Amino acid sequence: MRESPYSFVGSYDVYKSELHKVTDDHVFSVSECENISTKYLEGDKNKCMQIVQYLIYLDSYSEKYISEGCKYLDYWLYDESHQKHKHKKVTLKFYESLNDSYGDSIFRQNICDGSIIDINERIFENIEKLIELYEKFNKFKNNEAPLTGEGCINAKDCVSSYTLQAKKCRETDDNDFCTELEKFRNIYNTRMKNVTSCADLLTFLPSAKNTNLVIILIPIIVILVIPFISFILYKWLRTRIRREKGMLNNAYPEYLDVQYNSERTNTYAEDKMYNIEYHPSQNP
């Protein structure tokens, strides 16, 4: 199943921190990096070694963590190299060369397969906007005291950015981007649900996705219409039963009279029999 290229954004700061932890404690040969960096990184051997160390770090974690970390690497490599290499698939080719040289020796083979896709400019720009949202949110998310002053300003700035991206979401068909905005929205709404200290601050962000009014209205309409239909049906059935009963009376009047007289005769005969049985009991 295809994965979203944006799913790492909520934890981008974790991966960013690890990628920039450069040490001199190398447990691998640097000769391969020299060759690869000459071809793809303008000879920047240190950057190649930095990435190798990062992949070694990822290799000790779960598949999910590795996948998200590789997506961040894909974004970072695009940012670092794409402007220098206008031809396509530079990032993917760099990763493939790195995987061929070091895979299965210092980190697992094909560690980033499916996660490094050589993102395009549109995806890159969307990632930039999502990261910007989280950076603005991070400025006030951990404030324990009520938001005031600069905290309120940062929160309002965050809302403005979200509103702009939500509008963009509704105008495009990038469902992955919209889904990531929804994730951010939920995080923001949870953080701000009890905030009342900032004047004119929107503390509950609306959905970034287009709301399907038809889906919402169907159950409401059903709830309202069913009692009305039931009442109309009841009135119709009642009228029909009365009409048919009247037609039956008109069609068989003689039969009904005979039946009525017969019932009276039977009742009279039963009463008479009862009286005959009753009198002897009084005069033994």
Q: What is the pLDDT of residues 166-179, one digit of tens each?
A: 999 999 989 999 99
User: What is the per-residue burial (b if ≥16 Cβ within 10 Å, else e) of 222-252?
Assistant: eeeeeeeeeeeeeeeeeeeeeeeeeeeeeee
Q: Which two tokens stand for residue 82?
A: 């794409």
Residue 64 CA: distances (Å) to CA of 21, 38, 113, 152: 21, 32, 13, 35
Q: Is the pLDDT of residue 270 over 80?
A: no
- What the block records as the tokens of 94 is 């760099």
Quote the pTM value. Answer: 0.72
At 140 the three-state DSSP class reads: coil
Of 4-18, 188-202, 243-257, the range with the lowest mean pLDDT is: 243-257
Q: Which of 35-39, 171-175, 217-221 shows the lowest mean pLDDT across its residues? A: 217-221
pLDDT at residue 54 greater than cutoff 50: yes
Q: Residue 274: helix, strand or coil by DSSP?
A: helix
pLDDT at 254 exceeding the cut of 50: yes
> Would you place residue 248 in the very low, low, confident or very high pLDDT band (cuts 50, 70, 90)?
low
